[in-house]
């Protein structure tokens, strides 16, 4: 089955670091962009950035540039979203998404989300 499987919920303190993951199943991982979308509690969708695992080219939203790092390990079909120092305002659901630039030109596959809670 084609799917994205994300790592489990996290509870962290302000200032701590975090890396969450997203593993692709059932498709050629290196042929699609992998990205991240934030959804704060009760709010809308915000695009954070995207990476092409085939050559590690990445693009970030200006709102998230320098705040997070998007990476991927193509040997294990896994993408990552990383913070060096979390803030309470990072509390949100984070969705991993697949972007198909050659076909629908859309985010055609979404993971179940990873809830990150940052609280002292």
Partner 1 sequence: SYGLTQPPSVSVSPGQTAIITCSGAKLGEKYVCWYQQKPGQSPVLIIYQDSKRPSGIPERFSGSNFGNTATLTISGTQAMDEADYYCQAWDNSTVIFGGGTKLTVL
Q: How far apart are CA 111 and CA 39, in angstroms?
A: 13
Q: Kindly state the tokens that stand for 119.
A: 């609280």
Minimum CB distance to partner 1, residue 45 (Å): 4
Residue 13 or 57 having the CB closest to partner 1: 57
Q: Which is nearer to partner 1, 47 or 54 (CB)?
A: 47
Q: How far is the CB of 16 from partner 1 (least distance, A)?
A: 26
C-alpha dist (Å) from residue 73 to 28, 52, 67, 91: 13, 11, 20, 25
Measured from the CB of residue 19, what is the shortest distance to partner 1 in angstroms? 21
Dihedral pair phi/psi, residue 28, rounded to 5°: -80, 95
Using CB under 8 A as the criterion, which residues of the chain lie in contact with partner 1 when the complex forms? 35, 37, 44-47, 50, 59, 61-62, 95, 104-108, 110-113
The answer to whether 101 touches 31, Cβ cutoff 8 Å, is no
């Amino acid at each position: 089955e084609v799917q994205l499987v994300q790592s489990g919920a996290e509870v962290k303190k302000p200032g701590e670091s975090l890396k969450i993951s997203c593993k692709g199943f059932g498709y050629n991982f290196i042929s699609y962009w992998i990205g991240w979308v934030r959804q704060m509690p009760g709010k809308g969708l915000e695009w954070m950035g995207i990476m092409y695992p085939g050559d590690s080219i990445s693009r970030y939203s200006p709102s998230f540039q320098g705040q997070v790092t998007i990476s991927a390990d193509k040997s294990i079909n896994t993408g990552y979203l990383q913070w060096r120092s979390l803030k309470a305002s990072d509390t949100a659901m984070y969705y991993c998404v697949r972007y198909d630039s050659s076909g629908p030109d859309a985010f055609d596959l979404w993971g179940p989300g990873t809830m990150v809670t940052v609280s002292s």
